[in-house]
Amino acid sequence: MDWIAGVPLALEPGERSAYSDANYALLARVIELVSGRSFGEFLRDEIIAPAGLAATGHRGDAATPVPGLAMGHVPVGLREIEPSSPVDYSASTGSGSIYSTASDLLRWHRALSGDEVLTPESRALMFRRHVDARGYGWILDERLGRSKVSMSG
C-alpha cells in the first residue's frame, strides 16, 4: 500500500470519478485494518454467508485449491491446449480475487435488493448519484427509459 501513498491524485475528490483497481485494493486494506480480520475472513463472515452465497469466495492464496474452480487454458501449436499457469490472486486482493458462479451472482443481486448485507440507508447511499452519475462502485444510468445499474470493473 505504500506505493499508493506516493502516487499523486489524478483528480480532486468530488470533481469527477475514474475507475481504478488501486481504489479497491486500498479499500480491502482499510477493511482489514478496521475489522482486525483478513479481507477474505471479513467477506466470508459479513457478506458471503449472510447473502447465502454457497459457491463464492476470496482467493487470496494461489497454493490453496478451490474445488470446481474453472481454470484457463492456453494454445499450444495449432491444435492443442494446455492449462495456463496458476495466477496468484493475493496480489489482486480487493480488485480481482473473488470467484463466484452465475447462481451466486443472482443470489448476490437479490441480497443487494434486500436487507441481508445492507441496511436500507446504506443501500440508498450506495445507489445514489454522487459524482459523474456514479454511486459507490456503480454506474447509474438510463437505457430505453429505464434505470440501469452497472459497473465497469
Q: What pLDDT does 81 receive?
A: 95
pLDDT tens-digit map of 54-105:
999 998 887 788 888 888 899 999 999 998 887 777 778 888 889 999 999 9
- Range from 55-59, 122-126, 148-152 carrying the lowest mean pLDDT: 148-152
Question: Mean pLDDT across the chain, nearest whole number?
Answer: 88
- The whole-number pLDDT of residue 5 equals 78
Q: Classify residue 9 by its DSSP letter.
A: P
For residues 99 and 138, what is the distance between their CA atoms, to the nearest angstrom?
19
Within the chain, strands assigned E span 57-58, 73-76, 80-83, 98-99, 139-143, 146-150
**What count of other Cβ atoms lies within 10 Å of the Cβ of residue 139?**
16
The torsion angles phi and psi of 81, rounded to 5 degrees, stand at: -135, 160
How many other C-beta atoms are found inside a 10 Å radius of the C-beta of residue 1?
A: 11
Calculated CA dihedral for residues 101, 103, 137, 69, nearest 10 degrees: -10
Domains, the chain, with CATH or none: 2-117 (3.40.710.10)
Tell me, what's the pLDDT at 153?
Answer: 65
pLDDT bin (cut points 50, 70, 90) of residue 124 is: very high
Cβ–Cβ under 8 Å, residues 111 and 46: no
At 45-55, the pLDDT tens digits run 999 999 999 99
Q: What is the reported pTM?
A: 0.79
Q: 151: which DSSP letter?
A: -
